Amino acid sequence: MITKPKGTNDIKGNDALLWEYVNNVVNSMMSAYNYEFIRTPIFEASELFHRSVGESSDIVKKETYDFKDKGDRNITLRPEGTAGVVRSYIENKEYALPDAKKYYYNETMYRYERPQKGRLREFTQFGVEVLGSGDELVDAEVISLQYNILNALHISNLQVNINSLGDNESRNNYKEALVKYLTPKIGELCEDCQERLKTNPLRILDCKVDKDSEILKNAPKTIDYLNKESKERFEKVLQYLDYLDIDYQVDSNIVRGLDYYDHTVFEIVSLDNEETKSNVLGGGGRYNKLIKELDGPESYGIGFACGIDRIVEVLKTIDLYKNIQKEIEVYVMFVSEEEKLHALDIVQNLRLNGVMTETNNMNKGLKGEFKEADRLNAKLLVILNNEDLKKGLVTIKDNATKEEEKVDLDEIVEEVIGRL
Ligand code: AMP
């Protein structure tokens, strides 16, 4: 028997219903906020991720799915959404447009991680990228959009943990102070952190192994190294979040795992139970340097990504979703070939009028059809029989009250819609 690869999931049954529900909420919220859907390739030139996510990041060092295609090109399966969107923005010279571009995506990502709860090798993220605007209002919009989507899904006790890395100058000053502080103590941290001290010291702050160590807890804080401009910028973002009633907490240990962030960085958690607390649902940040880094002009960018797999796990713990089930509106019943021909027509007409309809597609007898209609939670039954059809009639039955009535065959669609 062939089984699914390690770290992947088949999304089906109740999970698929929750998944569909999340997608609906995401789509309608993105549309209300005027974000444009974008779909970028599932694979890109490896160089794109090496240059954007960063050579020293865990993702590029250990987690990418890399291969050579038949044309000997180095290809990587997309491990995150920002790089592809920014590549497309630059490739299509959209930086020359007078307005900011506001994109959203909803796609599978691939990281060769050690699979565990909430950590898969294939997972799905929805996210946004706003390109071309450095206004603090955009930071607040992106953070509140992420917050409001999770809120609309009824995930309670949400908290945004936010920090600022500041501009280049602030970041460099901070880096210097951090290296000075960590150098005499580095032997007490994990091997990866010892390596990071040379390649990317900021990353030490969000090391999964050493995250609870006193050394990291007492490390210098980014906030204390922000220059005047960066500080004022951060204060403005927080002020806007206050106006939007977003629950946030300034957390100076947040630097995020990717290389490209500057200024605002954030994560969103649900504090409802320990399980979800340790599972960050999403995060993001500003990445003004990235567009230039990928051969575009000086510009601005900010985005977030949220993991749908993790969100669905949280929804499963919420009462509201425990009994989620698919309900069919109408089940059309027939037995003979003559009845079947009419059924085909009625079923198509109902479906084209947006009525969720199912019919006897396993050649069942009446008894089997009634059972199937119950299993599908059909609200109405449309029952065809030869005698009635000769008179141009068909039976509609309410599957809850069991009341039934014969109606005109020609008016069946209107009758059904009127009763739903
Ligand atoms: P990141 O792109 O690493 O900042 O992650 C953003 C969000 O994507 C996380 O908060 C998770 O919800 C989700 N995510 C990241 N990596 C994984 C993974 N390996 N498996 C499942 N979800 C993930």
Q: Cα of 102 to ligand 1 centre, how many Å?
A: 21
What is the pLDDT confidence band of residue 267, given thresholds at 50, 70 and 90?
Answer: very high
Taking the CA of residue 306 as reference, the ligand 1 atom at the shortest distance is: 7
Burial of 170 (0-12, 13-18, 19+ CB in 10 A): buried
Among the ranges given (11-25, 315-329, 335-349, 376-390), the one the predictor scored with the smallest mean pLDDT: 315-329
DSSP 222-244: GGGG--HHHHHHHHHHHHHHHHT
Confidence of residue 204 (pLDDT cuts 50, 70, 90): confident
* Position 273 confidence tier, pLDDT thresholds 50, 70, 90: low
- CA angle (48 as vertex; 47, 54 as ends), nearest 5: 85
Mean pLDDT of 19-33: 97
Ligand 1 pocket (Cβ < 6 Å) reads: 80, 111, 113, 118-120, 123, 125, 257, 280-283, 305-307, 309-310
What count of other Cβ atoms lies within 10 Å of the Cβ of residue 380? 23
Token duo for residue 364: 């069942």
CA 11 / ligand 1 centre spacing (Å): 17
Percentage of residues in the chain with pLDDT exceeding 90? 79
CA–CA distances in Å: residue 318 to residues 34, 196, 324: 29, 39, 11
- Which atom of ligand 1 is least distant from the CA of 311? 12
Residue 195: predicted pLDDT: 87
Looking at every residue in the chain, the average pLDDT score rounds to 93
Mean pLDDT, residues 157-164 taken together:
94
Q: How far apart are CA 61 and CA 50, in angstroms?
A: 9
**135: pLDDT confidence band, cut at 50, 70 and 90?**
very high
Confidence at residue 189, expressed as pLDDT on a 0 to 100 scale? 87
**How many angstroms separate the alpha carbon of residue 57 from the centre of ligand 1?**
14
pLDDT above 90: residue 400: yes
Q: Region 147-155: what's the mean pLDDT? A: 96
Check residues 321 and 103 and name the one with the higher pLDDT. Answer: 103
112 C-alpha to ligand 1 centroid (Å): 12
Instruction: Report the separation in Å between the CA atom of 371 and the middle of ligand 1, taken as the mean of its atom positions.
Output: 42
Residues 98-123: what's their mean pLDDT?
Answer: 96
Residue 48: which of 290, 365, 355 has the closest Cα? 290
Q: Whose CA is closest to atom 12 on ligand 1?
A: 307
Ligand 1: which residue has its CA nearest to atom 18?
119
pLDDT surpassing 60 at residue 277? no
Give the per-residue pLDDT at 3.
98
Helices 308-315/13-32 angle, 10° precision: 110
What's the pLDDT tens digit per position in 54-89? 877 878 888 999 999 999 999 999 999 999 999 999
pTM: 0.92
**Which pLDDT does position 316 carry in this prediction?**
92
Cα–Cα distance for residue pair 363/384, rounded to 1 Å: 14
Quote the distance between the C-alpha of residue 143 and its chain's center.
14
Alpha carbon of 361 to those of 334, 343, 346, 347: distances in Å?
Answer: 10, 11, 14, 12
Residue with tokens 């069942």: 364
Query: For 326-366, what is each residue's pLDDT tens digit?
Result: 889 999 999 999 999 999 999 999 999 999 999 999 999 99
The pick from 119, 304, 312 for probing ligand 1's pocket by mutation, whose C-beta has the most ligand atoms within 8 angstroms, reads: 119
Kindly state the average pLDDT of the residues 155-164. 94
Distance 144 CA to ligand 1 centre (A): 19
Which atom in ligand 1 lies closest to the alpha carbon of residue 284?
4
pLDDT in tens, 282-325: 999 999 999 999 999 999 999 999 999 999 999 998 888 888 88
Domains for the chain: give ranges and CATH numbers. Answer: 13-167+227-321 (3.30.930.10), 326-419 (3.40.50.800)
Q: Give 188 or 414, the one with higher predicted confidence.
A: 414
| Secondary element (H or E) of residue 324 | none
CA of 119 from ligand 1 middle (Å) equals 7
pLDDT at 256: 78
